């Protein structure tokens, strides 16, 4: 699956996902994650869908998030990150804990590495790239 690298497109905040769209969007996210062994997360806009959803790999499961909102908690740390849409690594400030609520999973808490992954994908659907946050 082709990954979008157009920074102007990726810098646009995404639109909410309607219930009628979710099945096809989830399938495209699933196929995108399955086609990329190096992907720990994938936002809708990275596969050309301007919608507020993403998938993350947690262990050997893929978790899907539809119209998520997050609350940042914990301490701020510097996290070295890569992005499928950008060519280099960046050190990005991230919180060590997030509380995420969405239309599918209810409320979940993630800490440390997974908290950083959630923030990275959440930034994507809000039009924020790591190159704008990192060094």
User: Active-site residue numbers?
Assistant: 121
Nearest CA among 102, 122, 120, 100 for reference residue 110 = 100
Confirm if 53 and 125 have CB atoms less than 8 A apart: yes
Confirm if 115 and 95 have CB atoms less than 8 A apart: yes
Cα 58 to the chain's mean position, in Å?
13
DSSP type of residue 97: E
For residue 62, count other CB atoms closer than 10 A to its CB: 18
């Amino acid at each position: 699956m082709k990954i979008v690298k157009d920074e102007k497109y990726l810098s646009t905040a995404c639109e909410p996902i309607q219930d009628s769209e979710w099945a096809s969007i989830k399938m495209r996210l699933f196929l995108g994650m399955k086609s990329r062994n190096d992907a720990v997360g994938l936002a809708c806009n990275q596969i050309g869908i301007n919608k507020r959803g993403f998938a993350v790999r947690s262990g050997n499961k893929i978790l899907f998030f539809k119209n998520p909102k997050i609350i940042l908690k914990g301490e701020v740390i510097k996290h070295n990150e890569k992005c499928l849409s950008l060519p280099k690594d960046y050190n990005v400030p991230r919180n060590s804990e997030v509380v995420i609520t969405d239309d599918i999973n209810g409320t979940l808490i993630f800490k440390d590495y997974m908290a950083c992954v959630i923030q990275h994908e959440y930034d994507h659907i809000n039009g924020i790239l790591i190159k704008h946050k990192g060094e």
